[in-house]
Chains A and B, each alone.
Chain A
């Protein structure tokens, strides 16, 4: 399974593509895409959002689902979703993300 992630242009915050093509702040609200076709279509939505000056640097990333919710496969993405492991006070609201 994949989700699409990027940074918001204005403030640089990490965001994910959610329902109704909105860019959401919490991984738990991200929309999941199954299969190459769905991912390609989602990346096209992202490309449009880049052109519309909403986000920068979109890409797709692998995730799995467990009892806690959506879990990125790579450590880098888990840190990106949760915030720096060294600064617990800056953890994102995505409490479902474990690092």
Chain B
């Protein structure tokens, strides 16, 4: 993984000092809250419902054991013993004291971490496929490009006061696990006919109040043009994006209102002016950064051994884990393991300090010291030997992160909702917990198969409900929580925005409604290999409407 050199250390240390001074000025009364707010937000510090919240960047979701142990230490020392993994592959701490934040940032800097640009109207943490560098279906590792973009976007002098936040995602595999089509810029690594690596570029995807799928602006952007083209997009957006209404300020609205062709022409015109300038990426520099992400030395191994197979026969939980929580690795004998942060009835994405310590130990012991955070709020050990699975599984069970539910109905994305968030209109986590309990039986989940439920506690859609196969949006109606259901959303390479199925449900009714939808699907699917999403796309929403609201 990427390691800081002296330059990077100095960069982060100076930024920490700068923030420390801003906190000092605030506490001394030299800065008012109005003046301090944009400054603290640029460093990921929010004031939420109960307390401050600090969001720490985990660039493209990659970290090592030492860094994870530091996050555990911060949770234990400065917070209340836990952290929450987010849909931007970051972690947030819910209870830090303002006066402690400079010390927290100093601790983070010791392990090459920071909170730069985890909030504010700037380019946010660049996200990537959580199986990057390991997945069997990968064209190229997206992380070197994500790292180059991270560097270029850090404290950018021109693009730190954009009309609105700006999110970039990149995937190196044709099976998109990074949701690139619902990002402001989505990059899909591809090869041209000459075999050269480049990017398919999507612009203007996003969720929030006005969900949109990104539009393709380039079939093939050569590698060397990555920064110049990104800068061209950002300059067009910074100049022409709407600033009169924050709900219409994302680039998706600019794409929509300007029209794709005209905006593409603007981007290309800007790109022409700068493509031969200083932002052109020299091949040797890309290769140098790439070397940081070189895969660990992995000896080609064999398939599951006889004793692993034997245990699979006799241990249902282990079998379930093998069936769902492994992703094919490009080196035979290895696999990428999803550690489920979705225990049945638990809080999606929460990890205790002790769990984080265990994850750090296991990564060092079994995973070549590599850890990933997925945007689905799970933790991944990308390089695990198949023969280590039984002993790893036992340790995961002991830590409470061994649920074999990755990609299943209880692997729910949920935003913090009204339990934590100052903007929320309803709670998300308790709904996720109740759904998880309702469907928690292992056989039932497995029988239902792949089904992504995503829950947001307000229209800003941090829980990605628009792209859930079943999406749930929590709203407030006459002082009560109520929940609107969407169907058919997807964030993969065939991305789609879910459709509202009908009137919403009370908090008491919503889990029953989900169960009716699932039962309906089970009744109409052509077989176990037709997923909920495929079935929905085949039959449309009529049967689902009928089960929820009766015949029309």
Chain A residues packing against B (C-beta within 8 Å): 7, 9-14, 50, 53, 56-57, 73-76, 79-80, 83-87, 90
A53 CB to nearest chain B CB (Å): 5
Give min CB distance, A91 to chain B, whole Å.
Answer: 11
Contact A12 B52 (CB under 8 A): yes
A57 touches B429 (CB 8 A): no
* Nearest 7 interchain pairs by C-beta: A12-B51, A12-B52, A84-B419, A11-B97, A86-B429, A56-B33, A86-B419
> Could you list 8 further interchain pairs (A-B, Cβ under 8 angstroms) beyond the known A9-B27, A12-B52, A86-B433?
A12-B97, A13-B50, A56-B47, A75-B480, A76-B424, A79-B49, A84-B50, A86-B430
Bound form: Cα–Cα A11–B347 in Å: 25
Question: Residue on A with the closest CB to B429?
Answer: A86
Question: Which residues of chain A have C-beta atoms less than 8 A from B480's C-beta?
Answer: 75
A-contacting residues of B (Cβ < 8 Å)?
A: 26-27, 29, 33, 47-52, 80, 95-99, 347, 418-420, 424, 427, 429-430, 433, 476, 479-481
Known A7-B47, A56-B33, A57-B47; judge A86-B347 contact (CB<8 A).
yes
Q: Which partner residue on chain B sits nearest A80 by CB separation?
A: B49
**In the complex the two chains form, is B47's CB within 8 Å of A50's CB?**
no
Partner of B99 from A11, A73, A84 at Cβ < 8 Å: A11
Contacts of B48 in A (CB 8 A): 12
Chain B residues with CB under 8 A of A87 = 419
**Docked-complex contact B97 and A76, CB < 8 angstroms:** no
Could you list 17 examples of A-B contacts with CB < 8 Å?
A: A10-B27, A10-B98, A12-B51, A14-B49, A53-B27, A56-B33, A56-B47, A73-B479, A76-B418, A79-B418, A80-B49, A83-B50, A84-B420, A85-B419, A86-B419, A87-B419, A90-B95
Could you say which residues of chain A place their CB within 8 Å of the CB of B418? 75-76, 79
Give every chain A residue within 8 A of B347 (Cβ-Cβ).
Answer: 86
| Interchain CB contact under 8 A, B49 and A76 | yes
Closest beta carbon of chain B to A50's beta carbon, Å:
7
**Are B51 and A11 in contact, CB atoms less than 8 angstroms apart?**
yes
Bound: A50/B26 CA distance, A? 12
Please, which residues of chain B bring their CB within 8 A of the CB of A50?
33
- Whether the Cβ atoms of B47 and A75 lie closer than 8 Å is no
Looking at the assembled complex, report how far the CB atom of A74 sits from the nearest CB atom of chain B, in whole angstroms: 6
Q: Is the CB of B479 within 8 A of A57?
A: no
Please report the C-alpha to C-alpha distance between residue A84 and residue B350 in the assembled complex, in whole angstroms: 14
Contact B479 A74 (CB under 8 A): yes
Q: Is the CB of A10 within 8 A of B99?
A: yes
Chain A residues near B27: list those with CB within 8 A.
Answer: 9-10, 53
Residue of chain B at shortest CB distance from A53: B29
